[in-house]
């Protein structure tokens, strides 16, 4: 800040005062700049400030202009910050103007400091992933060059292309087990001040060579675990300086050679088998290295079991006795679980009895579970339809009562027994519930006509009481 002064040379006191004033004003600007710290969170920006002033100055006021028409004026005592929330995205200039006063004078020292503010839209997020790689033998150092001008946070995920675990480091180092060319990918994910995320992916081929430059060295090794007839193999082989590695498994039972890294195999019979693994490696110069290892493997079949569920039942009215005829080959024990089909609790008795609340058709299921001596389990289920009829329903006579047609759709013709006088006619469903009760009237041909169309399809009992006794038969109401 520069000032131009015109004074009379013979006024020495004024000259001295003016030079002191100019010196002090320049010192105030030089020693105490009016800069501030900007903190942005989404669309909200805070300018924070605190200055150490020469003792000959006092702070009068601070004006903060946020560039969108918002001006905050602060007077003594002046706060140490000003906060504003922008309502629209865009680029703004945030300017702070500080006003100082020289103690004992009306002269003001003015200083202005500005900084830019970018308010992104809610969907703005621009991340640009990138990296460089520097290889030394099998070791590679990665330098992350990802950029995102408005991101508040950036996270990274590295895939080194060799099946190793992903890395979340910013600029990781990675050591490959074998020489070769690998496709390395970096996924960078950024989050803008409004919480909107964006991501970018960069993939580059990285070539590594054997650090020793010597031919490859293969070392075959494996372990195994056996459960019954199944064997699982764990491959712990290594191949130093190999650019490619292949595997050949001979399971010792004449089955085809396996080429998986860590296979499983099911044997057909018990026995002791000689299992061999051959590892074949190739280095970057085309040299081949081979190593083999063989281990014996004992396979012992675990005894199994074969269960067949079977039961019979005898009925006495609503009570049903169940006889369990289940058989199990190879079982050391087996259990039963009965579902009587009427919503009642299951029974675990071997041969239970059950009393039903009403007559009807019930789907009764027997579930059996067996255990063999080796611990293997087996199970079977048998479900059958059990018909429960009220006591006395079977006592209805079915002779001397002719009906037709049977099955019937609507009109049923009932031929009266010879020389019998009808008293009542009852129709009952299979549970014994009366669904029709009429006073039968015979026509000229000694027949009674019964309308069955009002009944649902199914079996019904006809009970005809006459002066000569009770007669009955079953009738099937057919579907229309």
Q: What is the pLDDT of residues 129-177, one digit of tens each?
A: 999 999 877 889 999 999 886 788 899 999 999 999 999 999 999 999 8
pLDDT 10s digits, 418-454:
888 888 888 988 777 888 888 888 877 788 888 888 8
Distances 277 to 45, 223, 237, 249, 335 between C-alpha atoms, Å: 66, 11, 9, 5, 46
Average pLDDT, the chain: 85
pLDDT of residue 480: 66
HEC readout, 132-143: EEEEECCEEEEE
Do 107 and 16 share a structural domain? yes
pLDDT of residue 211: 52
In a domain, 253, yes or no: yes
pLDDT of residue 184: 95
Do 224 and 173 share a structural domain? no
pLDDT 10s digits, 217-241:
999 999 999 988 899 999 999 998 8
Do 151 and 138 share a structural domain? yes
Residue 475 has a CB neighbour count (10 Å cut-off) of 23
Taking residues 200-213, report their average pLDDT. 80
Do 406 and 380 share a structural domain? no
pLDDT 10s digits, 382-427:
999 888 776 555 444 445 688 989 899 899 998 888 888 888 888 9
- CB distance 184 to 203 below 8 Å: yes
In a domain, 273, yes or no: yes
In a domain, 125, yes or no: no
Do 333 and 295 share a structural domain? no
Do 221 and 185 share a structural domain? no
Do 336 and 416 share a structural domain? no
| Residue 202 domain boundaries | 131-208
In a domain, 56, yes or no: yes
- Name the domain boundary from 373, 388, 403: 388
What's the CATH code of the domain at 434?
2.60.40.3080
In a domain, 126, yes or no: no
Structure tokens at 184: 């390395």
Q: State the DSSP string of 10-67.
A: T-HHHHHHHHHHHHHHHHHHHHS----EEEEETTEEEEE------TTEEEEEEEEE-S
Do 383 and 327 share a structural domain? yes
- Which of the four pLDDT bands, split at 50, 70 and 90, describes residue 264? very high
In a domain, 64, yes or no: yes
pLDDT of residue 11: 52
Instruction: Tell me what percent of the residues of the chain surpass a pLDDT of 90.
Output: 47
Do 221 and 184 share a structural domain? no
pLDDT of residue 122: 65
Do 72 and 51 share a structural domain? yes
pLDDT of residue 82: 95
Do 471 and 399 share a structural domain? yes
pLDDT 10s digits, 7-66:
444 555 444 444 444 444 444 444 568 899 999 887 889 999 988 888 888 888 999 999
pLDDT of residue 260: 96
- Name the domain boundary from 252, 269, 299: 299
pLDDT of residue 393: 52
What global pTM score does this model have? 0.32
Number of domains present in the structure of the chain: 5
In a domain, 6, yes or no: no
Alpha carbons within 13 angstroms on the beta-carbon side of residue 438 total 12
Tell whether the model's pLDDT for residue 257 goes beyond 70.
yes
Minimum mean pLDDT among 26-30, 123-127, 329-333, 444-448: which range? 26-30
Do 92 and 148 share a structural domain? no
Nearest to 126 by CA among 102, 146, 148: 148
- Name the domain boundary from 279, 299, 319: 299
What's the CATH code of the domain at 82?
2.60.40.10
Distance CA(175)–CA(139), nearest Å, equals 4
In a domain, 419, yes or no: yes
pLDDT of residue 30: 44
pLDDT of residue 136: 79
């Amino acid at each position: 800040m520069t000032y131009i002064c015109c004074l009379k040379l013979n006024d020495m006191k004024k000259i001295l005062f003016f030079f002191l004033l100019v010196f002090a004003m320049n010192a105030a600007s030089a020693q105490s700049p009016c800069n501030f710290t900007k903190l942005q969170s989404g669309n909200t920006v805070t300018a924070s400030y605190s200055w150490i002033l020469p003792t000959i100055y006092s702070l009068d006021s601070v004006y903060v202009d946020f560039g969108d028409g918002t001006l905050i004026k602060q007077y003594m005592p002046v706060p140490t910050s000003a906060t504003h929330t922008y309502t629209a995205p865009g680029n703004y200039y945030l300017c702070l103007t500080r006003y100082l006063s020289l103690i004992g004078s009306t002269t003001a020292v003015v200083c202005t400091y500005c900084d830019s503010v970018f308010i992104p839209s809610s969907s703005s997020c621009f991340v640009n992933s990138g990296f460089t790689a520097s290889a030394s033998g099998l070791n590679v150092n990665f330098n992350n060059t990802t950029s995102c001008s408005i991101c508040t946070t950036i996270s990274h995920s590295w895939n080194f292309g060799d099946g190793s675990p992903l890395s979340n480091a910013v600029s990781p180092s990675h050591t490959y087990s074998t020489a070769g060319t690998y496709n390395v990918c970096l996924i960078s994910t950024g989050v803008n001040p409004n919480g909107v995320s964006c991501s970018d992916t960069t993939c580059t081929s990285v070539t590594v060579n054997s650090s020793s430059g010597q031919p490859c060295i293969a070392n075959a090794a494996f372990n195994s675990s056996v459960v019954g007839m199944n064997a699982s193999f764990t491959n712990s082989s290594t191949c130093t300086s190999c650019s490619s590695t292949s595997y050949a498994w001979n399971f010792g039972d004449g089955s085809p050679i396996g080429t998986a890294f860590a296979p499983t195999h099911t044997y057909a019979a018990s026995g002791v088998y000689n299992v061999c693994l051959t590892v074949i490696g190739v280095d970057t110069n085309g040299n081949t290295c081979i190593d083999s290892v063989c281990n014996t493997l004992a396979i012992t079949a675990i005894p199994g079991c074969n269960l067949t569920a079977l039961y019979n039942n005898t009925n006495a009215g609503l009570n049903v006795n169940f006889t369990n005829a289940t058989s199990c080959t190879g079982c050391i024990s087996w259990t039963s679980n009965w579902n009587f089909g009427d919503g009642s609790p299951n029974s675990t008795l071997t041969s239970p009895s059950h009393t039903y609340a009403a007559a009807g058709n019930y789907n009764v299921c027997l579930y059996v579970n067996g255990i063999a001596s080796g611990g293997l389990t087996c199970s079977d289920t048998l479900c059958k339809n059990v018909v429960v009829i009220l006591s006395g329903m079977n006592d209805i006579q079915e002779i001397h009562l002719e009906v037709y047609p049977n099955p019937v759709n609507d009109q049923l013709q009932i031929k009266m027994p010879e020389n019998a006088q009808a008293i009542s006619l009852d129709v009952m469903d299979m549970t014994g519930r009366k669904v029709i009760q009429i006073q039968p009237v015979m026509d000229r041909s000694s027949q009674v006509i019964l309308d069955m169309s009002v009944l649902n399809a199914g079996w019904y009992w006809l009970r005809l009481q006459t002066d000569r006794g009770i007669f009955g038969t079953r009738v099937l109401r057919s579907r229309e």
